[in-house]
Structure 1
Amino acid sequence: MSPGATMERVYIDLKVRIMTGAYPPGTRLDPRQLARAMDASATPVRDALHRLSGERIVDSWHQEGFRQPLLTEADLVDLYEWGGMLLALALKGRQPSPNLRAGLSELQKIEPYPEAVDSLFGVIAVGASNRELRYAIVNFVERSRAFRSAELRIDPASRVTLAAMEEDYRFGRWTALRSKITTFHRRRTRQAGRIAAAVRPRSDPLR
């Protein structure tokens, strides 16, 4: 396998692991240890980590290596507020579609909550007319993935709320969807402290 192909494989594998919570917040991501687990040399792993650092999916410091982000309550509040604004902006100006009897076909029926949130917000991103806005939403979705399971544990009503947003999307009820997305993220900001605590290692005190 070529070096470029190896780095791409490692990048995708590592990104999926991080997004799905394989490493607790604050975990040091050592390229040599990861290389052994991924059947690769340390160089493509280090390159993948630098790429993920550029996407803000991992944290890095000069001469201090890489780690899984350790977000505080304030960090999560900012992230949720940012995501809500991006998604509302992507839906701004879309016209209602009252004649969609079967709904829009782009949104698949997905049962697990984290994947379903990714799917809904992802198709909203794809439908945005501004390319930079699309990139920003996708990055928000990826950076938020590690918290989705905790959201559901903290707020069991999340699945019902998501289903209502999915229905608005399927039938092109854009104003209603924007309102629900705004409410969804405001609720997340109020729960940010509990969500941050739920994903933080038990040995690490809240800060």
Structure 2
Amino acid sequence: MDAIHSKSVFVYGQVKRALRSGRYAPGQRIDPATLAAEFKTSPTPVRFALYRLVGEALVVDQARGGLHVPLLTEVAMRDLYDWMERLLLMACDIGAAPAAGKTDQRELASADDDPIKLTWQLFDAIARATAHRSLHHAVKQANDRLAPIRRAEQGLLKHSFEELSELKRRWQTHDMPALRSALRDYHERRKRLVPRIVALLSDGSDYLHQ
């Protein structure tokens, strides 16, 4: 059983990274047997891993239709952006817990850094600092679901790195009113792009490999 658990944890991590990177197209079926062959294991740990991802809303179970990458409609995508915005604004209202200590003061290194990873890290830090585990967990899940969407949106946004740098500066200086305003603007810009992002994700464009 320990071997199955270990293999399941490994497969879970690998598939989760693939989902976050956009390796799988929206609506694509994920076949446990194919993954079992890829990772040289039996279907059992693969299924354990996939159903853990179902619980995180990164995979959907269509019963007889099998397991699939979620298809995001415009309504669902706006809802997801709105959910992340609300969670982060809540984190701003709560503020950093005393036990959280100093926030990470590392600067965004350069425009060559991956903005998707940097965004994930910043939003995670804002939530983690509150010391509210449920809020942090919700932000982590929303972060994971938004990762492939953020990769698609990059080609549609100008000055995204500067925008992210400004968000981090507001966070590091503890200017919560300015951070709240910047987070609202950040998400509003993306909500306006939802039809174009959905189209990119639906037509299998090469945005993921740019």
- Give how far 1:184 is off: 0.7
1:1-207 pair list within 5 angstroms: 2-94=3-95, 104-105=103-104, 109=108, 111-202=113-204
More deviation in 8-17 or 178-187? Answer: 178-187
SS at match of 1:63: helix
2-structure distance, mates of 1:199, 1:61: 20
SS at match of 1:129: coil
Give the alignment's TM-score, normalised by structure 2.
Answer: 0.87
Q: Structure 2: 5+ residue runs without aligned partners?
A: 97-101, 206-210
Change (3 A) 1:65 1:108: farther
1-structure distance, mates of 2:48, 2:107: 34
Change (3 A) 1:202 1:19: closer
Contact map agreement 2:95 2:129 (CA 8 A) in 1? no
2-structure distance, mates of 1:83, 1:3: 34
- Give how far 1:106 is off: 5.4
Q: CA RMSD in A?
A: 1.9
2-structure distance, mates of 1:108, 1:4: 38
Flag as ranges the 4+ runs of structure 1 deviating above 6 A: none
Per-residue deviation, residues 103-141 of structure 1 (Å, max 9, x unmatched): 843556351110010010010121123221111111100
Q: How many residues align?
A: 196
- Give how far 1:89 is off: 0.3
Contact map agreement 1:84 1:185 (CA 8 A) in 2? yes
Q: Structure 1: 5+ residue runs without aligned partners?
A: 96-102
1-structure distance, mates of 2:94, 2:148: 31
2-structure distance, mates of 1:75, 1:126: 25
More deviation in 104-113 or 115-124? Answer: 104-113
1-structure distance, mates of 2:106, 2:66: 39
Give the alignment's TM-score, normalised by structure 1.
Answer: 0.88
SS at match of 1:152: helix
Equivalent residue, structure 2, for 1:98:
none
Looking at secondary structure, tell me which structure has more helix per residue: 2
Change (3 A) 1:39 1:108: farther
- Give how far 1:68 is off: 0.9
- Give how far 1:36 is off: 1.2
